[in-house]
Structure 1
Amino acid sequence: MSSLKGKTAVITGGNSGIGLATAKLFAREGAEVVITGRRGQVVDDAVREIGAGAVGFPGDSADPAHHRALAGFVRERFGGADIYVANAGVITITASSDVTEAEYDQQFAINARGTFFGVQSMAPVLRDGGAIICVGSLASDKVLDGHPVYAGTKAAIGAFARSWALEFKDRGIRVNMLSPGPTDTAIVEKLGVPPEERAGFEAMMAGAIPLGRFARPEELAQAALFLASDAGSFVTGINLRVDGGMALL
């Protein structure tokens, strides 16, 4: 397949989960892929898994200096980029009454601040006619228990994306938000669900999803490919929910 042949794609948080699945698919579709992540060894492992000449650039997405350095690297190495996927994110599920300042600051720093300054830094090296995909969440529209801060960060990303869709229109750069529902990634373990309880947790969640199951990371990657490729050439400013219909309930 070659729908992204000749394109350079930068994917933050491309070392795991949806980001890794997207990086693999984009590479198979012919793109030169650059991924970021906080842990150098994990990034290196992901680069080997992606293959196809993928490049890793470790760093902290909450740090604007990391994004400026990444943009400089992409300009020097590839002459620019065509696709930017702002995917890096964290989640802590906590009721508002129990949210600590550290939890609040971490989620806003990585999810919202990281997305904003990532796009600010990458926009000058993004070629005209390119695409920006901001990974949001079902939680930005649907109230979920224990998600108030996370939902706020993702709602902010949605507001950024709508603004950027107009801000970059004269350059032909399309900006869209991709909002996953529950997805089968390592985040389930990070939420504190022990392995022996995973089946029960998934069954409970499936009951709240019209399609009756979690998404696969590869399904989110296919949606990202649509938004990044010529297949989505007349699509900008949307929030594409890939949630199995969960937002309807």
Structure 2
Amino acid sequence: MPLKPNHILDKIDFFNLFDQLNISHETLLDIAFESKLIRRRRAIDPIDLLYILCLESSQGTVSHNDLAIQLESGTGISVSKVSIWKKINEQCLVFLKKVFELVIQSKFAPNGHQAEPLTFDRIVVQDSTIIRLPQRLFGEFSGVSNGHSKVCNARIQGVYDLVAEQFLFFSVDTYSKNDLEAAPELVLKKGDLTLRDRGYLIADEIQRHITHGADCIYRHKYNLVLLDAENEKAIDLLLLLKKKSVWT
């Protein structure tokens, strides 16, 4: 029995991942219509476009010609690189973001267990990661450059509520927009507890939490010293936590 081409097996595996998350072909198609990527059925199926974009992007620099070739190879439908170029637009970006958001929400779907009463209304986790992009996007996303080489990076910010088990927000920003710059953009509510890495730690953010009636936990450098606002003496956090701990 002849073996199927590898790209067909890859495509089957790709959409099996969506099936495992209970994301159907119809749901993806609805997102394509909702994001106005398509208004009626065309030669370029949005689901096939999603597949080839993910596949080719994972392999590094990709061109419209590469996408057209991969689409014809996987579906048998011949399209021009110009047709692909017209389809890679703002609506396509909205489509990809909505699919990405749905995948994350599905990965963290409510588990159905009865939760214990919580002190906080929301427990919000914020973190970021850096991804490498093709060098030709350096002008849009920036990155790291020296006399010998240039690397294009983008920074992804993600915010997740542990209580609601819901993905709240994500953004794809320029590499130069670091965590300190993104920190004030987080919308705080009274009764929140936020968990953040040390990249977000700044005195103004701690004060913003106090002002909004929210609490925060930061990871910080071992040599960071916190001072008492009244007497300016160093606060022994470990001793303070031991005194106020509800655990024995």
What is the TM-score of this pair, normalised by structure 1? 0.25
Query: In terms of Rg, which structure is larger?
Result: 2
What is the TM-score of this pair, normalised by structure 2? 0.25
